[in-house]
């Protein structure tokens, strides 16, 4: 039996005691952990479909929950990389730079603690 990313994501949140709701119209989760966080599983679902590693969902949740701390620029600048992402999201990033009709260039912060 194949396990879905949504199942793994919800299981991870429940095991941590994190409340959440799912908006059936957008498919996004609203996580209630101090401040509301809106989450789409599109990117992590693509990663999971490639390697079938359920730990990627745990790392994803860890990154979301630990994402509220903004590091000092001198520390963060060493960990900023650029990623190519599809630009078919319902809501696009304010930091994106469109490089084609289908692809955006986005800065990402790599968290060495999580191995991502």
CA dist list (Å): 5 to 45, 95, 98, 108, 114 = 6, 26, 28, 22, 19
Distance CA 108, CA 95 (A): 10
Q: Report the predicted TM-score, pTM, of the whole model to 2 decimal places.
A: 0.60
Alpha carbon 3 to its chain centroid, in Å, reads 19
Longest dimension (CA), the chain: 46
pLDDT at residue 115 tops 50: no
- At 93 the three-state DSSP class reads coil
* Per-residue pLDDT reduced to its tens digit, 40-88: 898 888 888 888 888 999 989 988 887 556 667 777 777 888 888 888 8
Per-residue pLDDT tens digits for 85-114 = 888 876 767 778 888 888 888 887 776 554
Angle in degrees, CA 106, 29, 36, rounded to 5: 85
């Amino acid at each position: 039996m194949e396990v879905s990313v949504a199942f793994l994501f919800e299981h991870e949140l429940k095991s941590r005691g994190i409340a959440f709701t799912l908006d059936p119209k957008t498919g996004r989760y609203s996580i209630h952990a101090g401040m509301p966080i809106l989450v789409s599983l599109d990117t992590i679902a693509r990663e999971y479909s490639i390697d079938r590693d359920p730990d990627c969902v745990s790392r994803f949740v860890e990154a979301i929950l630990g994402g509220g701390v903004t590091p000092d620029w001198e520390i963060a600048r060493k960990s900023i990389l650029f990623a190519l992402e599809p630009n078919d999201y319902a809501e696009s990033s304010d930091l994106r730079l469109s490089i084609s009709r289908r692809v955006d260039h986005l800065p990402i912060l790599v968290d060495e603690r999580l191995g991502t």
